[in-house]
Amino acid sequence: MTAMLSVLEFHLVNYRRTWRSSALTTLVMPLLVMLGFGVGVGAYVEGGVGGVPYLDWIVPGLIASTALQAAVGEATWPVFSYFEWLKVYFAQAAAPLRVADILGGHLAFMLFRIVLSAAVFLAVAAAFGTLHSWWAPLTLVVALLVGLAVAAPTVAYAASVSSDSYLIILMRFAVLPMSLFSGVFFPIGSLPELLRWVAYVFPLWHGVELSRDAILGTSPGLLGLVHVACLLAWCAAGCLLAHVRFRRRLVI
């Protein structure tokens, strides 16, 4: 555990030097998305969705989607560069660090970035008066689950490819469809049945539903346990696969 915390400290020290480059984007993007989709598009959605104003309805999905975007951003090119360009992982493996320490420390940093981005979005949402329940802070826990469920398998993928062109393929054929068809902007009930089942499999939809229940103050019931179980399954499978890929690359 101490070794893993040392790896986390390494990433935090690096972030302390570069946080200004992402701070403005982290704050401005929620404002632009809220104004563009929530206020702009919402003006044309009469009656909202299920009696909930459109802006209020999409906010939970946007927070979960923010966790997705932050996870993908931290788990793609940074991981690939640490293997192929900067060789940071190999330098860490030469120190008295286990593969689990290297991977765990970096995943912990990713979770820090994910919850930070989600917290900023939640604060902006509160300023717009879109939070309907005192359970709304639980969306940060959901963001952590969504973030790890996305980041872990993405790390495994980034550790497996030989060119960053494959990362662009991931963005186009996995991340973009998941962002569009997971109930963030419209209920997935309006999708064809095949696409609905695709949404059920991907982790984002489960995070969107849990976030929406927390912010709107509705009870998820037993379905909430299914959502949590699916997210945990993605987390466990992703972490296991990432550890296997890291071990193959770092252990001689």
Residue spans of the domains in the chain: they are: 2-250
Quote the CA–CA distance of 64 and 25 in Å, as a whole number.
17
Quote the CA–CA distance of 8 and 2 in Å, as a whole number.
10
pLDDT of residue 25: 77
Quote the CA–CA distance of 199 and 181 in Å, as a whole number.
6
233: number of Cβ within 10 Å: 13
pLDDT of residue 47: 79
HSE-up of residue 205 (Cα within 13 Å, Cβ side): 21
Quote the CA–CA distance of 187 and 154 in Å, as a whole number.
26
Radius of gyration of the chain (CA): 19
Question: Taking the alpha carbons of 12, 20, 148, 242 in that order, is the dihedral positive or negative?
Answer: negative
169: number of Cβ within 10 Å: 12
Place of tokens 């939970």: 60
pLDDT of residue 252: 64
| Cα–Cα nearest to 63, from 132, 134, 116 | 116
User: What is the pTM (predicted TM-score) of this model?
Assistant: 0.95
Quote the CA–CA distance of 225 and 60 in Å, as a whole number.
18
Q: Mean pLDDT per 10-residue run, the chain (252 residues)?
A: 93 92 80 79 81 92 95 97 96 94 98 96 92 95 98 98 96 94 92 92 97 95 96 98 97 76
Q: Are the C-beta atoms of 208 and 182 separated by less than 8 Å?
A: yes
Cα 12–Cα 18–Cα 21 angle in degrees, nearest 5: 135
